[in-house]
């Protein structure tokens, strides 16, 4: 299984310029596991990914920090797993490691599945292909 990492850093000013929110992301990508075939059919060999997907729009921004979490000073790392489809959209987001704050965890999945767009993974035949991503998001309020 091949894996790649893509690092992105996003920073935005809070209302009134009172701080900065940093969202650091690292995506570990690999080809999806094949579906379970009927017992009489031999599964097809999955193709290797030649070009990794990357975020092209919809980074986490200051406006994405849940207001209640901001007031509480909630910080942490949410690690999410989701599928990147050949059209560059994400679906089936699941929290695999909680930040300790459910509102931050829910917001991470919401942003990725509603606003973030990716360039899709490209297989060795040059075709866009479905893959999954694991994305750690660091929720940090800097003073």
Measured CA angle at 129 (ends 34, 61), to 5 deg: 110
Identify the bridge partners of residue 128 per DSSP, sorted by sequence position. Answer: 122
Is residue 74, in this structure, part of any structural domain at all? Answer: yes
Task: Note if the pTM is more than 0.75.
Answer: no
- Asked whether residue 54 is domain-assigned, the answer is yes
Give me the CATH number covering residue 68.
Answer: 3.30.2420.10
77-100, pLDDT tens digit by residue?
A: 999 999 999 999 999 999 999 999
Q: What is the pLDDT of residues 46-64, one digit of tens each?
A: 678 889 999 999 888 889 9
Q: Can you give the pLDDT at residue 2?
A: 29
What's the pLDDT score for residue 9?
A: 28
Is residue 116 situated within a structural domain? yes
* 40 domain residue, yes or no: no
Residue 73, pLDDT score:
96
User: In the chain, how many domains are there?
Assistant: 1
| C-alpha distances in Å from residue 137, one per residue of 24, 77, 87, 88, 111 | 6, 5, 23, 19, 11
pLDDT at residue 79 in the model = 97
| Residue 44 domain flag | no
Q: What is the pLDDT of residues 15-27, one digit of tens each?
A: 333 333 333 343 3
pLDDT of residue 11: 29
């Amino acid at each position: 299984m091949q894996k790649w990492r893509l690092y992105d850093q996003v920073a935005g000013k809070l209302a009134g310029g009172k701080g900065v929110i940093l969202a650091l992301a690292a995506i570990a990508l690999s080809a999806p596991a094949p579906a379970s075939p009927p017992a009489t059919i031999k599964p097809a060999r999955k193709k290797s990914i030649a070009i990794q997907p990357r975020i092209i729009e919809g980074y986490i921004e200051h406006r994405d920090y849940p207001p209640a979490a901001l007031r509480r000073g909630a910080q942490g790392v949410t690690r999410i797993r989701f599928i990147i489809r050949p059209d560059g959209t994400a679906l089936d987001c699941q929290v695999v490691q909680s930040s300790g704050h459910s509102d931050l965890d829910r917001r991470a999945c919401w942003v990725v599945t509603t606003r973030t767009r990716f360039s899709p993974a490209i297989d060795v035949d040059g075709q866009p292909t479905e893959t999954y991503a694991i994305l750690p998001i660091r929720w940090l309020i800097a003073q």
